[in-house]
Structure 1
Amino acid sequence: MGHDILGLNRAGDEIAYARFSMGNYNATILYRLLDAHHFYAGVSGSGGSSTFSKQQIEKALVAFHQLYNKGASTHSSYDTLPWDLKQILVFIKNCLVTAQREGSVKVYFG
């Protein structure tokens, strides 16, 4: 059991991945940033998915920086983030690249 969260492009190709063990509370950070707490099922995701617009992913990225990266944009500040927060940031950034290109991105919460 655990949280396997996948970002998918229109073709269904995986463009982002985040993995949290079933006891890792940091999974809730990503659910919260995406306003997707209804997909949180305790020890794993619900198995559902949703499509997020470019604006929704941008909002998640802004919220991440405000809460965890204090708005810093330098590479050195990225290096000081704990591993799970780096994973979340990379996930959101990868989803944003796809959403900018395709207009949206699908996220599966397993």
Structure 2
Amino acid sequence: MGHDISGYNQAGEEIAYARFSMGNYNAFILYSLLDANKFNAGVSGSGESSNFTVQQMEEAWNNYNQQYNKEDSLTETDIFYWDKNQISEFLLNCLETAKKEGSVGVYFG
């Protein structure tokens, strides 16, 4: 079990992916940033999808930057180091797609 969260463009192509083990609390950060806690089924995603607008993705990105994208002393051995990077990449890819297409689909598996 785990959280496999994927972003899709309008053509159905995967443009973003984030993977968290079922015990990794950092998955909750991504759900929270997307205001998508209803898709969190605890040990995995709910298996549902949702579309996010440019405004929603910009808000998620801005909240990420305010809360988590700060200079810190994380090293590659810290668990949040890797997850911080995958959350950032996920949000940026989804935001870029939403700007191009008007929205982005996200699957919470």
* TM-score of the superposed pair, with normalisation by structure 2: 0.90
Q: Which residue of 1 aligns with 2:2?
A: 2
How many residues are paired up? Answer: 104
Cα deviation 1:42-85 (Å, max 9, x = unaligned) = 00000001000001000000000000114x7xxxxxx9871101
% identity of equivalent residues: 65
Runs (4 or more) in structure 1 with deviation over 4 Å come to none
Cα deviation 1:1-40 (Å, max 9, x = unaligned) = 1000000000100000000001000000000000000000
Report the Cα distance in structure 2 between the residues aligned to 1:42 and 1:67, rounded to whole angstroms: 23
Give SS of 2:15's match: strand
* TM-score of the superposed pair, with normalisation by structure 1: 0.90
**Unaligned ranges ≥5, structure 2:** none
Report the Cα distance in structure 2 between the residues aligned to 1:96 and 1:43, rounded to whole angstroms: 26
Please show how residues 63-82 of structure 1 align to structure 2 within 5 Å. Answer: 63-70=63-70, 82=81
Q: Which residue of 1 aligns with 2:30?
A: 30
1:87 corresponds to 2:103: no
Report the Cα distance in structure 1 between the residues aligned to 2:69 and 2:96, rounded to whole angstroms: 20
**Unaligned ranges ≥5, structure 1:** 73-78
Q: Which residue of 2 aligns with 1:99?
A: 98
Report the Cα distance in structure 2 between the residues aligned to 1:53 and 1:41, rounded to whole angstroms: 23
